[in-house]
Amino acid sequence: MAENDNKSPPPELSNCDYCNKESAVLYCKADSAKLCFFCDHHVHSANALSVKHMRLQICDNCGSEAVSVRCSTDGIALCTDCDWDCHGRGSDVPDLHHRRVADEGFSGCLSAVEHASLQFFC
């Protein structure tokens, strides 16, 4: 019998709205687009206006919505609905002792290393 029989499967990730090949990992509100790292860099380095767009990571739990909070206790970034399900009244036992911080997003044209550091700062 496997150790993690009760563990839920990872979320199905959306395809990038730009290339439609890679998994989307970032959401740009200004463009209403879910983008992979490569396309995010390509799109947001195009001109002085697009480099100012605020972007957010896509939720680690559902894989479809923009992150609103990071929980360093669980090491996870969550959208509003998933945060409510995990930490609010939607959960079996609300945990008010988890260290959670609002995610404001980022702008600019980040390198792959900078993108990676954003994902794992929890």
- What pLDDT, in 10s, does the model give residues 75-112? 889 999 998 888 776 555 555 667 888 888 888 877 66
Is 88 in a helix, a strand, or coil?
Answer: coil
Between the alpha carbon of residue 13 and those of residues 7, 67, 105, 115, the distances in Å are 18, 14, 19, 18
- What pLDDT, in 10s, does the model give residues 30-85? 999 999 999 999 999 988 889 999 999 999 999 889 999 998 888 889 999 998 88
**Separation between Cα atoms, residue 78 and residue 62, nearest integer Å:** 8
Please give the average per-residue pLDDT across 15-40, as a whole number. 94
Question: How much is the pLDDT for 6?
Answer: 44
**Separation between Cα atoms, residue 121 and residue 99, nearest integer Å:** 13
